[in-house]
């Protein structure tokens, strides 16, 4: 799926009542849904390349569960995992400047808990915890640029 096809899907969502679109293919997941603000929010899954380097699309009738940055076990600390950035972009802890952060130190999260948003190419991408536990540390400041694979949150299981 290329950037032109993704833009067409977003335009279709803006013009219609469509609130969610998902596609899954071997090693690739893409989910676009209309956020509370009405703007599209994109989630990509493990195995996806950085933003917009996508494979050919699967049929639209194959919805996929939302997935985001995989949490990998820490090498030195038992029971600690990290939520890593699945893309290059700008890190935001909340949906808007007036909103409270998705996750703070001490927040209990589950696999599908949204912990932050990464903005890439003017698209807001929800990042999920992908693990159960308690947030020990937020490793990135709000509004800071992040790199692919950068650790965002430290979570104790």
φ/ψ of 6, rounded to 5, equals: -65, -45
Q: 56-75 pLDDT, tens per residue?
A: 344 444 444 444 444 444 45
If you search the block for the tokens 């990509």, which residue do you land on? 44
Cα separation, 58 vs 74, in Å, equals 34
In the chain the domains, ranked by start, together with CATH numbers, are: 71-156 (2.40.50.100)
How high is the pLDDT of residue 109? 92
Q: 71-121 pLDDT, tens per residue?
A: 444 455 788 999 999 999 999 999 888 989 999 999 999 988 899 999 988
How high is the pLDDT of residue 155? 93
Q: What is the pTM of this model?
A: 0.53
């Amino acid at each position: 799926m290329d950037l032109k096809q993704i833009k067409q899907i977003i335009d279709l969502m803006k013009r219609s009542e469509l609130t969610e679109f998902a596609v899954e293919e071997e090693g690739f997941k893409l989910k676009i849904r209309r956020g509370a603000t009405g703007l599209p929010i994109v989630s990509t899954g493990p195995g996806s390349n950085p933003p917009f380097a996508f494979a050919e699309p699967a049929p639209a009738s194959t919805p996929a569960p939302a997935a985001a940055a995989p949490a990998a076990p820490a090498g030195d600390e038992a029971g600690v995992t990290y939520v890593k950035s699945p893309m290059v972009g700008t890190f935001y802890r909340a949906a808007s400047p007036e909103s409270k952060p998705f996750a703070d130190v001490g927040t209990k999260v589950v696999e599908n808990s949204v912990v932050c948003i990464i903005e890439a190419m003017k698209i807001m991408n929800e990042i999920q915890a992908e693990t159960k536990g308690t947030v020990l540390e937020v490793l990135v400041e709000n509004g800071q640029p992040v790199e692919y694979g950068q650790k965002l949150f430290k979570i104790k299981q």
